[in-house]
Amino acid sequence: MIKKNEMISDYVERAYDLSRISGLPITDKFRLINYIKLVGKATEVAREKDISDIKNTHFYEVDPSFHLLISLIASGIQSDMVSQIIEGYCHNFEDSDIYYAKLVILGAGTMMIQNGFDRDSVVSYLVTLLGDDFLRNNFGRIYEEKEVLDIDEENKITIKFKNFDYTYRKLKYDLLALLKIKREQGKAKVKDAIFTRCDNKDLKFYYTLLDLKSDEVSEYIYHKLMKDAPKMDRFIMTAVRCILTEKSILETHYLLNAIIGKYTRFEKPYSEVIDEIKLRETEILS
């Protein structure tokens, strides 16, 4: 997660393994250049008009991952949550450097758009992630061709996101229901629900561990354990932190999907999510 007042470049170097990007074959790096150009075009629209106006352009629909990230920042979700969503997806790409690289580049670019950077600064920074030698040998050509966007069947990078694992589905809505209870009925009510109405021992363990008077210590423990924890533990820990810090249901929904590695189109009717959360809330409190 990006820290308050942390530079995006410092965050990217700290949070991601950039050797996985710089070590890619040169053919893959040229495929990534098209996504850097895509971010550049979106930056220009955001600077001249507004971030939300990117959604009215033809390139908004060019790529699903780009579509989701732009939708997140256009909806007003803050950088700290956007960065966690990017990290959540990247954690699922341990076996694919090209998927990892694409998400880091689109994610860093999206956060730069959100923070008001100009097009040339965004493009130049993202190209540096491809490696110093690549930058020196190809930047002139890239700069001259920055208006040429060539994402077609031959060179596009289509990330294969995971199907929804039903092991997580019911639990996700239980956790979102607990978040709703905390936001609307307070800490005492959600603690009662977790410790007397839920039978998930890991949920009880992580809630006890992270429910501290010092948010600084709680956050430290959370990030320390998240680095190497199994996916289910990361899923529960993330939900617990969202409950404790009263994140919105919308951003927690997308963050938990990122932990799973499941793609969700932003325009999917959000009322369906709310209806299922209400159902789970009724069952938990009954």
What was the pLDDT predicted at 153?
Answer: 73
What was the pLDDT predicted at 267?
Answer: 67
> Are the C-beta atoms of 114 and 20 separated by less than 8 Å?
no
Length of the chain: 286
What was the pLDDT predicted at 217?
Answer: 97
Rg of the chain over Cα atoms, rounded to whole angstroms, equals: 20
- H or E segment at 63? none
Closest CA to 103 of 82, 120, 124: 82
Q: Which residues contact 59 (CB under 8 A, 6 or more apart)?
A: 38, 41, 42, 66, 149
The tokens describing 2, both together, are 């990006």
The string of pLDDT tens digits covering residues 42-101 is: 999 999 999 999 999 999 999 999 999 999 999 999 999 999 999 999 999 999 999 999
> Are the C-beta atoms of 21 and 129 separated by less than 8 Å?
yes
Q: Residue 199 and residue 8: Cα distance in Å, rounded? A: 41
Which parts of the chain register pLDDT below 50? none
Positive or negative CA dihedral for 114, 118, 120, 125? negative
> Are the C-beta atoms of 128 and 33 separated by less than 8 Å?
no
Residue with tokens 């694409």: 102
What was the pLDDT predicted at 154?
Answer: 77
The tokens describing 127, both together, are 């190209």
Q: What is the pTM of this model?
A: 0.93
